[in-house]
Amino acid sequence: MGLDDALIFTRVVECHSFTLAAAGLGMQKSTVSRRIAQLEERLGVRLLNRTTRKLRLTEVGQAYYERCRQIMLDFAEAEQAVMQLQQAPAGLLRITAPIEFGQLFLGGLLGAFMREYPQITAEVELTSRLVDPLEEGVDIAIRVGVPQDSTLIARKLFESRRGLFASPDYLARQGMPRVIGDLASHRAVVQSHDTGRYWPLLEAQVSCQQALVCNNITFLREALLAGAGIGCLPVMICGEALASGRLVEVLEQARLPVGEIYAVYPSRRFQATKVKTFLDFLMASLPSYGGRLLEPAGPGLLTSHL
């Protein structure tokens, strides 16, 4: 009886009318009016002030309505969750991701997901721009760094260790740095967000001679391979070059900020089966470090999972 009364009360408030609420509920207006009166009597408060032309919530009624509305939403969500258990993921899945993440991981993972769920179609944009899922109708946006928009849900996929790398040719010409302070005399190849007077180290402040600045980590890796200097990059994109000896990690004791990768999406409420299933698949399928730490443990590891 209590839940039924809460539903009736919520409909009356949202319709601003006993007549319209009754029609929507398939009830007589007199029945709706009587049930609201019984509810007020049971609670011992007045929830609505009524005139012949208007309904107005009392202060207590407003608080009660907000709680009832939340209960109705939770109930609807529970029903949808049960129904979705019987449904296979289907429909168009729209995803955006950073270019490197898409090239290294997303293509293979999405292909495997679509093989498992053939009713899924997909539309993917690999981009360095910041995409707003709400404005652009995107189901999932993969982002680097902690999302700042509090209206979106963010799920951390993993963290990637960063290191300092150089080519054997550069080190043969300029010398191998032995201590952190030696970086001050080397040419720096850095990402745009690391630009500044100092190397992006966590426990030291060392002057940085910037020789090359770019906003694309694949570009920077290629510049390092060509001998442009020493650069700070995610380990995940250097695995093959390290295994083949074309890049060398220097000053392994240096501590640098980790790179965090998040999946960002509009809301958990009424989340489509296709979105939830893909997010779970993504977490389970990323290289097996508990979805937290992604870095090569040996030659060929990065490609062996894809």
Lowest mean pLDDT among 184-193, 212-221, 289-298: 289-298
* Higher pLDDT among residues 205 and 81, named by residue: 205
d(CA 275, CA 139): 7
Confidence of residue 271 (pLDDT cuts 50, 70, 90): low
Q: Looking at the predicted structure, is the pLDDT value of residue 191 above 90?
A: no
Q: What's the gap between Cα 28 and its chain centre?
A: 47
- Residues 6 or more apart whose CB falls under 8 angstroms from that of 141 comprise 95, 96, 97, 131, 133, 263, 264, 265
Q: Looking at the predicted structure, is the pLDDT value of residue 276 above 90?
A: no
Task: Output the pLDDT for position 156.
Answer: 84
Q: Is the dihedral of CA 253, 255, 256, 257 positive or negative?
A: positive
Residue range 78-83: mean pLDDT, rounded:
70
Q: Looking at the predicted structure, is the pLDDT value of residue 224 above 60?
A: yes
- Domains in the chain and their CATH numbers? 2-84 (1.10.10.10), 91-160+259-304 (3.40.190.10), 162-250 (3.40.190.10)
Q: How many residues does the chain have?
A: 306
